[in-house]
Structure formats: structure tokens, C-alpha cells
Structure 1
Amino acid sequence: MGRDTESLPEKQDIVYEENASRMPHRGGLSSEDADFLANFPVEKRKKLIRKVDWRMIPFLTILYLITYIDKTNIGNAKIEGLTEDLHMSGIQYNIALSVFFIPYVLAEVPSNMIMSRFKHPGRYLGALIVVWGIIMTLTGIVQNFAGLAVVRFWLGLFEAGFLPGAVLLVSNWYMPNETQTRIAILYTSAASGGAFSGILAFGIAKMDGLAGLGGWRWIFIMEGIVTVLLGVVCYTFLVESPALSTGWLDSDEIRYLELRQLSRRIHMSSDSQNSIPTKTLLFEVLTDWKMVLLIFVNWSQAVPNYALKFTMPQIIKNMGFTSANAQLLTIPPYSCGAISAYGFSVIADRKSWRMPFILVPQICVIIAFAILFAKAADIKNNIAICYFAVCLSCFGMYPILPGVNAWNVSNIVSPAKRAISIGYLICMGNAGGIIGSYIYIEKEKPKYPTGFGASFAFAAAGIVAGLVLEYALWSINKRDASYTEDEIRQKYSEEELDRMGEKSPLFKYSL
């Protein structure tokens, strides 16, 4: 605390590079490469990162916006007549929500493992986007609940690879102290997507009756067509790796970007990394106690967030507003989420400290759902406080996912293991979507005790998990700091330290 936070990212880059130049045998860097990395001019570094930001992040943000809209527009379609036209009753709407998440969850880890092996990962993502755009368009012509369930299943399968793939791309271009802000920018598009989705649905629903189709059908058709077009653009516009970016980066810039990624592998050489089988890395991720705690932290936003995404228009409609106004009134809550996700992430990257900037948003989530649990039974007479709570819940939920993912990637040394851990953490977070699909029960409206109560409980559990993880990592760092590097090297061989990766006593966990 009290550090010069304005220049902290650049200072930390220099620390990574000085470590690499002092220990060039680590990370596979030669002395010449280490010297180049350490002596790359600071002004050129700043200019290069800005160039990468402008070339990569806006397009990924647009793609994630479309992903979010395509995932959640069923909530907008519902209040425009979807359930009535398809003669759905009981929990069929909840089933239609949850069936999306079954393939969505199961496919995320395999998708990232496949993508990490592609020379052109952008083309892989582009193909996924084109296919799910076609499926989204077909959703607009389904005739019954069974047809809706089928298209939702396939939509979940092909959408599964995008978010973990996007986070993997970001982690492969940026250093640990730069990742959360970039992930947050992507995720703010999800928050903005909630607002934008409401505006789109409001406008597209005006096409009701055109070509004999209901307004909710046009929501799916029009948004699906846009998705297909953006998927095609990915083939030529989405950046993939520095080595494949010769059209807009010069040779020194490419070399710098590649070497600074290698400098992250200070505790694991290329040969050692390549010798570890994928099955072993997968087993390590699945059995890692730190991942279990991160999953609970992630669920503090995933369960309440997914549940609220699908139900917010209905909650606002329960306040007495018309369907059209309910669509528009979803804009301010999501705008609060977008602002907070970016703001908290910028500060977290500057401080290089994740936990406090996850904890404060979690507390906001708890307060928000406590208000809704207490007041929603008489929501028409408590419009102001309940609408404030909906806005506060979004303000709290949206900074958590970028923080959790940044905490994860900054503490994984091996790129191959990082790809698996990103997919697994996001996949388990999205498993919260299955839970969230069922906690808002139609017959319980407007009180929704199950929905608001479960959201409160998951946020509380996430706070406990985050505090436990922070204390555990701090304790490990304190223990390892009590040994000198010479003492550690006397106890372990270089090969043993390499294979330990982030478990090496030479590694310092990010808090």
C-alpha cells in the first residue's frame, strides 16, 4: 500500500524481466534474450501494449457482447410471448434454461484443450461463432417446447468454447498484473449486453407480425444473423498470437511479446513442461484445493448472476411496469455492473491484489439480496428500494468473475496447465447456471424466496472461500520466504523444481 500505483504495471514487467536476466536458464531464455527483454525501452513497452489493446480487446469485447446476448435473450423473449406461443407450462421454461448449461459446462475444458493446440485459434473460435449463430436463427422457428430444448442444447455446446478461449488468448498476450483489467473489459460487455439486449429486444419486438412471426421469434432470428456475420469476420480480424501478427507488429515487438511470456516460466523450462502428459495436468487441476476454493468464490456471482439474467425482466415487470418498459429498465442495473467491473479491476491490477476487490463486491451482493428477500413480497409498494437492490446486485456481481480469473491465471506457471485451469474454472462457474436456472420459481413470484435466499447463501459461501484462500496463500508465501534460494536448491534438484511449477518453494503466489 502507498506505492506509486500509476506506474506499477510497468515496474512489475521490469521485475519479471530482471528475474529472467539474472536466471536465464529458467523459462528457456538465453542470456541474449534475457538482455533484450530487460533492455527493451519503457516507452516502447507502453506504446506496444496500447497497440495490442486497441487491436485485440475491442473486437473480443464485441464478440463477448454477442455471446452474452445470444445466451440470455430467452429472458427477453419470454415476456414477449415465447412461453404462451409454445404452450409451455410448469417448470418447462426452467428446463429450457438449464438444458443449455449441460453441454456448455461439459465442453469448456475440452474446447480449451483443443484450442490450445490450434496454430490459428481465431479460426477455431470463428467456426464456433458461425455455427451457434445459425442455431440461434433456427430458435426463431421452433414450434414447441421440445424444439426449443433441442436448439438450446446445441447452442450451449457451441457457445461453450468462447469465454475460456477468450480468457486464454488474453493470458497468452498479457502479464499477470495486466489480465484482470482486460478480462473486465470483456466482461463489462456482458453487463452492457444486458442493457443492450433490452434495447434490442424492445426494438426488434416491434417487428411482431412481420411475415407472420411473433416479435420474440424475430429477436432470435435477427440476433442470430448478426452472430453469423461476426463469426465470419473472426477468420481475418481476430488476433491469435504475436508470431502470427507480422502484419501489424514489427520483429522486435513480436520478440518482446514472446519473450516476456517465456519469462513467466521462471520455474519451469520448456522441456520440463512438454514432458508432462495432458492427463497429468488435467488431474492436477481437478484435484487442486485452490481450484475448489476459487470455484466457490466464482459461484458467489455465477449462481445469482445467471438466475437474475433470466429473471430480471420479469422481476421488473412484477413492479407493475409493462413488458416494453421492463425491457428498458434492465439497462441501469447492467450499466452499474459494467462500471463496477472495470473500476474494481483497474484498481486490483494496480495494487496486484485480488481478494479485497472481490470481497467488497461480494458484500454488495449480500446486501442486495437481503433487501430483495425482505421486501419483494410487497414489491409494488417497495419499487424504489427493490429496484435499488437489483442495481446493487449487478454492481456487486460483475467485478467478481474478472477477479477470480485473474487470480487463477496469475498463479499458474505452465501455459498448458493454464489453458486447462481457465476452462475448468469457467466451466464450474457456468455449472452455477444450472442451479440458477431453477431457483426463481414462477409460482413464488413476486417474493421469490428460493431465488433471493439461494443467491444470498452462495454470496456468503463465496466470501468464506475467498478469505480462506487468501490466508492459505499468504501462509505458504510466508513459509517459503523463510528459506533462502540456496537452501531450496540444496533440497531439490533443478528437474524437481521445474516439475513442481507453482508448487515450487521458489514461486510466490499472487494474493
Structure 2
Amino acid sequence: MGEKILKDADLHRSTAANQDTHDAHSVEQVTEISGVSTAVAALDPNSEEYKVMEKRLVRKIDIRLMPILVLLYILISTARDNGLVRDLNLLDKEYQTALSILFVGYITFQIPSNMLMTRLGRPSLYIPTFVALWGVVSACTAAATGYHSLLAVRICLGVVEAPFFPGALALLGYFYKKEEMATRTALLFSGSIISNAFSGLISAGILSGMEGKAGLPSWRWLFILEGSITVAIAGMAVFILPDMPGNSKFLTPEERIIAVNRLSVNAGSTLSTADEDGTPMQGFFMAVKDIKTWVLAFMLTAVTVGVGFNQFFPTIVGSLGYSHTVTLLLTAPIWFFAFLACLANGLHSDRVQERTLHIIIPLVFGIVGFIIASTTTSLGARFFALFIEASSYAGYTCVLGWIAPSIPTPKYKKAVALALINAFSQLGNISASYVWPKKWGPKYWQSNTISSAMFVACIVLVLLHRTMLKMENAKLDQIKNDLLSGGKGMYEEDGKGLDPESHLAVDGQSKKQQTRIAMAKSSFRYML
């Protein structure tokens, strides 16, 4: 089957002139695998053979990549107070500061971390190393004796936590096409949601069974045990996580070729040469200058403030009047429902290849939940409102799944943009730390109003981003039409023309222009 798929490069080039429609499907490059240079050309995504092999490849990547990423995310999403506030004699503002101080290191190190990981090309070593460090530092929380020692641990925790999530998003972008990202992003973030669902159950068990063991309160045991387990799982992840598609040992040589090329075709560029990839700093400046980066950054920040209730969910659920242990148990079904909502929304978004409505609709439901929670003290109505609020995470995960397809190339720009957007959005988490103070309970109408306003702001930015991408798609269509018309210099930008026969730049065509032309010639279009 592989011989049929990897067609002869010379034959393809000789027939390409009479098959302009093949431009959308053809990619030619030389890939080094086991010291052998293999000519790769003419992979047609519409052929049945290709679809069978691609489906098998994606399934293999899913099995290898997604379970371990989700597990790692579960492990690093387990920060809970569970008596810490009481035993360390923390004031409400001190606890809020301890929560938010983590973001100092978390925000600062995300961009350089993603640049370094992309440069090294070894996510299988890079990500588990920092997850293991996270486990060590998290376990050190058990040694905190007061406010200042807790602050020191939290700052260090932010530094070692910074590489995971943007690195995981970048890793997904290395292996999955744009129409596969919403589902995988929802699955990745399900690690956090599942943690919210079941950490309450785990915490309840530890709190009831470990109190006083070896003279330690149960909350210290919670950090010690969870930190130790994290280090052990991170050590296993080194042997499970893949690297880049072109050097992942769990793929056969044939599968590596297809894994590289399906992403190349999907992005409208080969994405393989140093000239196209540029340098990390070039990628940084390209990401900073792209208006889409900032629209997405503010979009993700707004929705992050809106879902900031997750940091205080046990406290909010506790306002229903149940005991601490029962409150922890009640959070499980709420977050499990949120997980199902995220997964269903992501699957449908990828199936219909649409993002806008799959973000807006969950946020509208979230706003309804906030309104219900603010206007009644009825136990049933408020419990129902908590389910709806938690399901708004489906919109959040879909925003995450929209980032990589909106900034597909080159790889350093994409890596920096993912880290920059996620880092910037943590300003929303810092703000959210102060949006849900206990003094505003039990109705929290002020908190619900702020969250609703942030969801509205996110919806406005979603519509703006969609309009921008639609305009970009129209430009790409126009460029392709100009090229197919056969006239020289039909596409003009900054007074520089293009020779449509050779597809080579003339009069000093910029790399930006060449990239846009390559995207126009391909089947790539931004997902709306």
C-alpha cells in the first residue's frame, strides 16, 4: 500500500501542468529517515488508499499521545486548599495572593519555553522533565509553614508549570490538522476538568483517612502523595510521548512521511525548510506583529475571567449549605457533565469544521447559568445553574482549538503565538482570583455579573476574529483566481509582482508574500 501512495516524483511533475487542481494536494520535499533520502510527492487526500492510511495513522497517534497528555494534565491540575488556609492562618486576601502569585512565573516563562522546546525538537524529554519538577515543587507545599513560605513555593511552581500547557498545545499542532484540533484540545483540557471532577473524591478520601498520620495534617499528605505520583508518571511519559512527526520512533518510516506531509498540505506550505521556519526570534516578532495573535489573546483572556469560578468551585458549591466532605463529592457530577459537554462540542465542531457558533452557544448557556445563580436561593435552581456554568467550558476549549489553525505557519511563529496567547490569558486567571471573594456569597451576584460581561466581550471578539479570517479567505481565493488566470503580475502587494508560471518571487518578493501565495495555491483556508 505504501508504494502505491508514495508516487513517483518525476511522473507527478510531468503531469502537474495539466492538473492545476493537484496544486491543493501536492507537496514535494526530501525527508531524512534512517539516513535514507526519500522523495515524497503527490499524496492525494481524496484517494481511498490515502484516507485509509491517514485514518490508521491518526488512530495510532491518538492512542500514543492523548492518554498520557491527559494524565499529565490531571496530575498538574490538583492544587486544593483542603485545610491549608486554616492551618497556615491565612487571611482571605493572603490566600488570593498565594493563588495569583503562581502566574508570575507561569506567564513569564511560557514563551521562552515554547521557543526552546521547538528548537530542541524533543517534547518527549522536555515536557516530562518539567512535569516531574512540578511534582517535586508541589510536594514541597507540604513543608510550607506560613504565608511567606507558601508564596515562595507558589512562585517556583509557576516557573516549572509554565512549559506544560503551551507545550502540549504545540505538540498537538505538530501532529493534527486544523479540523482535528477542537476534539483533541477538548480531550487535553479534559485533564483539568476530570481533575476538578475526581480530585474532590480523592481529596475526600485522603482528608478522612490520612489525618494525623506521622503527625501531619491530611492536606500536607495530599500534596506529598500527589507530588510523588506525578514524578513517577512523568518518568514513564518519557518513554511514551512522541517527538516531532518526522523523528517519532513509534511511527514507521512510511507513517512519518505521511504525518509530515498531511500537515504540510493542511497548512498550505511544506513547513520543512529552514528558510520557511526561520529562527525563534523571527517567529517571535512575526507572532507579536500579527493582529490575529492579539485578538485571540484578548478573546482567551475574556473567557478565562468568565470561567474563573473553577478556582473557587468548592467554595461556591459550599454555599448550598452542605458539609465540606459532601461539597467535595457534589463537585464530581458537575465537572463530569462539563467534560461531556466539552467533548461533544469539540467533536461536532471538527465534524462540521466550524468554530464560531461552537464557542458562542456554550457561552450563552453560561450567561443563563450566571443569571439563575444570581437571582435565586432555591437549592434546585442554583444546583442546576452550576451545571450550566460548568458546561460553558465547552466554549473555552473551542477557543483553544481555534488558535493553532488561525496561525498555521511557520512553526516558530505558531509556537510563540500559542505560548503568548496562553500566557496573556493568565491575566484573566489573576483577575478571577479576586472576582469570587467569600464576602459576595452566597448569591455572588457581583461575581456572576462580571463573568457574564466577560463572556459577552469574548463573543464580540469571536465575531471580530471570524470577520478577519473570512476576509483573509477571500484574499486567498482572489490570489488563486489571479494565478489560475495565467497573467503575469496579477497578484500585487507593495508593488511587487509574481510570475505565475514559475511560482517564483520576482522583484524581491517578501517571504510573507510567498507564504500567502503558497497558502492561496493550496486547499488551505482558515476555519471560521
Larger Rg: 2
For 2:268 and 2:103, how far apart are their aligned partners in 1? 38
Aligned to 1:473: 469
Question: What amino acid is aligned across from residue 178 of structure 2 in structure 1?
Answer: P
Answer yes or no: is the 8 Å Cα contact 1:27–1:263 preserved in 2. Answer: no
Shift of 1:19: 8.6
Matching of residues 251-266 of structure 1 within 5 Å? 251-266=253-268
Match of 1:33 in 2: 40
1:485 and 2:482 equivalent?
Answer: yes
Question: Is this contact kept in 2: 1:20–1:29, CA < 8 A?
Answer: no
Asked if the contact 2:362/2:395 (under 8 Å) is kept, the reply is yes
Whole-Å separation in 2 of the counterparts to 1:21 and 1:227: 48
Aligned residue runs from structure 1 range 342-353, under 5 A:
342-353=343-354
SS in 1 for 2:242: coil
Distance apart, 1:180 and its partner CA: 1.4
- The 3-state SS of whatever aligns with 1:115 is helix
Deviation at 1:142, TM superposition (A): 0.8
Counterparts of 1:100-249 in structure 2 under 5 Å? Answer: 100-206=102-208, 207-246=210-249, 248-249=250-251
- Counterparts of 1:440-451 in structure 2 under 5 Å? 440-451=436-447
CA drift of 1:150 comes to 1.0
Residue equivalent to 1:13: none
Alpha-carbon offset, residue 281 of structure 1: 2.5
Q: Which residue of 2 aligns with 1:6?
A: none
2:46 is aligned with 1:44 = no
Moved more, 21-30 or 399-408: 21-30
Are residues 19 and 227 of structure 1, via their aligned partners in 2, closer, same or farther at CA, if it must alter by over 3 Å? farther
**Cα offsets for 1:272-324 (capped at 9, x unmatched):** 7447443333223223222222223223431132x312211111112110000
Give the aligned partner of residue 401 of structure 1.
Answer: 396
SS of match in other structure, 2:239: helix
Cα displacement (A) at 1:402: 2.9
- One-letter amino acid matched to 1:443: K
Amino acid paired to 1:311 = F
Q: How many percent identity over aligned positions?
A: 26
User: What amino acid maps onto 2:157 in structure 1?
Assistant: L
TM-score w.r.t. structure 2 length? 0.85
Secondary structure of the residue that 1:117 maps to in structure 2?
helix
Q: CA RMSD in A?
A: 2.6
TM-score by length of 1: 0.87
Q: What is the match of residue 361 of structure 2? A: 360
Q: Secondary structure at the match of 2:102?
A: helix
Q: Which has the higher mean CA deviation after the structures are superposed, 121-130 or 258-267?
A: 258-267
2:458 maps to 462
1:489 CA displacement: 5.4
Q: Residues 355-394 of structure 1 correspond to what in structure 2 (within 5 A)?
A: 355-375=356-376, 379=377, 382-394=378-390
Query: Residue 336 of structure 1 contacts residue 395 of structure 1 at CA under 8 Å; is this kept in 2?
Result: yes
Partner residue, 1:510 = 527
**Residues 7-63 of structure 1: per-residue CA shift (max 9 Å, x gap):** xxxxxxxxxxx9995378867579952225656532222122111111111111111
For 1:158, the aligned partner's letter is V
Tell me if the contact between 2:305 and 2:431 (Cα under 8 Å) persists in the aligned partners.
yes
Amino acid in structure 2 at the alignment position of 1:338? F
Question: 1:372 Cα shift?
Answer: 2.0
Residue identity opposite 2:322 in structure 1:
F
Confirm or deny that 1:499 pairs with 2:500: no
Query: 1:27 and 1:460, CA in 2 relative to 1: closer, same or farther beyond 3 A?
Result: farther
Aligned residues: 480
Shift of 1:332: 1.7
CA distance in 2, matches of 1:123, 1:358: 34
Matches within 5 A, 1:52-71: 52-69=61-78
Instruction: Tell me by how many angstroms 1:193 deviates.
Output: 1.2
Local SS of the residue matching 1:399:
helix
Secondary structure of the residue that 1:308 maps to in structure 2?
A: helix
CA drift at 1:185: 0.8
1:130 deviation in Å?
1.1
Is the contact between residue 268 and residue 497 of structure 1 (CA under 8 Å) also seen in structure 2?
Answer: no
Match of 1:291 in 2: 293
Is 1:302 aligned with 2:311?
no
Q: What do the CA deviations read for 1:461-505 (whole angstroms, capped 9, x no partner)?
A: 001111121122223323543452326755334443642476558
- Which residue number corresponds to residue 3 of structure 2? none
Residue ranges of structure 2 left out of the alignment (5+ in a row) = 1-18, 32-37, 499-503
Q: Could you tell me how far apart the structure 2 residues matched to 1:275 and 1:242 are?
A: 16
1:371 touches 1:389 (CA, 8 Å); kept in 2?
Answer: yes
CA distance, structure 2, for counterparts of residue 237 and residue 257 of structure 1 = 18
SS in 2 for 1:297: helix
Identify the range of structure 1 (29-38 vs 251-260) with the bigger mean alpha-carbon deviation: 29-38
Residue in 2 aligned with 1:10? none
Structure 1 residue 177 displacement after superposition = 1.0
Q: Which residue of 2 aligns with 1:9?
A: none
Q: Give distance in 1, aligned partners of 2:63 and 2:196.
A: 24
Structure-2 separation of matches of 1:364 and 1:413? 34
Distance in 2, Cα, partners of 1:285 & 1:58: 30
CA distance in 2, matches of 1:148, 1:323: 23
Bigger share in helix? 1
Whole-Å Cα distance in 2 between the matches of residues 336 and 295 of structure 1? Answer: 27
Question: Residue 268 of structure 1 contacts residue 413 of structure 1 at CA under 8 Å; is this kept in 2?
Answer: no
Q: Is the 8 A contact 1:348 1:354 kept in 2?
A: yes
Output one character per residue of 1:228-264: Cα deviation in whole Å (capped at 9) or x when no partner. Answer: 1111112212122233333x32221121112222324
The amino acid of 1:401's aligned partner reads Y
**Whole-Å Cα distance in 2 between the matches of residues 365 and 297 of structure 1?**
16
Aligned equivalents of 1:120, 1:277: Cα separation in 2: 17
